[in-house]
Structure 1
Amino acid sequence: MFIAMVEVLSVRWWGCFNHTGLKVTFADGSTLVYANVPGRGVIRQSLAEFAMGRSMVTAHGISGHSAFQVIARAERALGTPYRLFNWNCEHFVSWALGREPNSPQLHAAGGALLATLILAQLTAS
């Protein structure tokens, strides 16, 4: 089946976190999503399963030869367990895109926690 496009998608969870995945659209219009899900690891799922009734945002799309490379990486990762601190949904997507596994949300949350702890210590003194 011919692949028309791969897109990076995200949905909002709990009002403050984005869950990220890779949507594959085939030439016939059918779709599937590769996602790294807590308790399930890297899986293929339907668009409806990924969105779980939430609205989705498309970060950017990839087509042509690069799309095949992204899908090949995603396929190799199938079954890899989810690990919040070093293999969450963002780590998986950045790795599948050929980048260093990275989670900007995790870095931001860690920075916010550190700032809160410092502020609490300063105000307690």
Structure 2
Amino acid sequence: MDHQKKQTSDHEKLIREWIESKGNTCEFVLPVTRKDFKGSKLYVSASEDSLRLLEVVSDRDVNVIETIECTEEQTWIVKKGFGKLAVSSKDAETFIVGKQRDRLLHWLRRQPKIRIIEEKKLFL
């Protein structure tokens, strides 16, 4: 296993433990990118009805950048590109998921109050 993959799995474990220590559940943690956070280690985590955009600082601290509650009617725009998925809503800045993007899409589809508009893009 190369260093980058090990670091990502360590970060995912750190985030999962941090969320559970706060008394919340965590369905998954996925690495993401966002235009306004160049060079940061960003992740999105999902619980029953919310998404959290998190940043790992110094490989040991977790910083919550944004929490998106999915408890009211919302429209999300999902752009499917070659190997990537760009997700945005009026309440959330666009973030891009590479690996395991289907897990996020499946989670969004399961939310009863979310309407999804899917667009196909060749490149994101």
- TM-score, normalization by structure 1: 0.31
- TM-score, normalization by structure 2: 0.31
Indicate the structure whose relative CO is greater, using CA pairs within 8 Å and at least 6 residues apart.
Answer: 1
Which protein has the bigger strand share? 2
Which protein has the bigger helix share? 1
